[in-house]
Amino acid sequence: MKRRSAMQAVAVGAGVAALGTAVKAEAGLFGKKLKFKNEEFYTADGKFDVEKGKDAIIKLCEFHGYPIFPDFRKNLWVSDYNTGKFTELGLAAYMFMNHEEDRYMLMDLFLLPGQMLPEHWHLDGEGNPAKREGWLIRYGKSYVVGIGDENLADYPQIVVPPCHMGGKVTTKHVVPATPGIFVPVAAVKTRHWQFGGTEGAIISEVANVHTDSAVRHSDKSINDFFLKG
């Protein structure tokens, strides 16, 4: 990247962060923290309440000043991957476009504070090549983890929950990312995962195309649930 392009990228990142700060100040959100209790997201019989999950994502968006546009809630995908531990492991996503014919995709991901997106990777599938992807952090902070030199031990704030392979992962190279930082997947078909910071994270994902049937998760029970769904 040329120096001018690098400086422009930094400026854009700073502008996004400043805008988020201004929105928080106007909304009177300074000094407040996003706090969620896991039991809030489950019915009396232990079933995950998707609508409660969506409520939490709306709160996350309001906290950061992310616009709630028409049909946002209706089309928002939320899952705890059948773990019963949504505040520890889960994800919400809004797909803006997944154009299989022209093979491009754009979606936003939403992580609650301290919530892990499970470790996974992408294969070729349904006539589509394995996903080539990257993530632009828009609000909050996300720890993007994949292959590379292991430095997970340097981030004690990242806690892999027991519901994910007994608290284990296979990839341990962490890239801490804040608004304006873009992190590409290290290599196609390699495993990766993310972890939300203290204010959660809102992330734009860009890729060639997404195919659910070509996703594989490191945790067998999560993988079986996802593919069955």
The pLDDT assigned to 28 comes to 42
The pLDDT assigned to 229 comes to 77
- What are the structure tokens assigned to 178, written together? 């804040």
The pLDDT assigned to 135 comes to 98
Give 148: exposed, middle or buried? Use CB within 10 Å, 0-12, 13-18, 19+.
middle
Q: Which long-range contacts (CB under 8 A, 24 or more apart) does 9-17 make?
A: 9/180, 10/180, 12/180, 13/178, 13/179, 13/180, 13/181, 14/180, 15/180, 16/138, 16/179, 16/180, 17/178, 17/179, 17/180
Q: What's the whole-model pTM score?
A: 0.87
Tell me the average confidence (pLDDT) per consecutive run of 10 residues in the chain, 229 residues long. 37 46 46 88 97 98 97 98 98 95 95 98 94 97 98 98 98 98 98 98 96 96 94
> CA–CA separation, 79 vs 217, rounded Å?
14
Domain encompassing residue 184 = 3-228
Residue at 100: amino acid letter: E
130, containing H or E segment: none
pLDDT tens string 84-97: 999 999 999 999 99
The pLDDT assigned to 33 comes to 86
Domain CATH number, residue 31: 2.60.120.10
Number of domains in the chain: 1
> CA–CA separation, 111 vs 93, rounded Å?
9
pLDDT tens string 156-202: 999 999 999 999 999 999 999 999 999 999 999 999 999 999 999 99
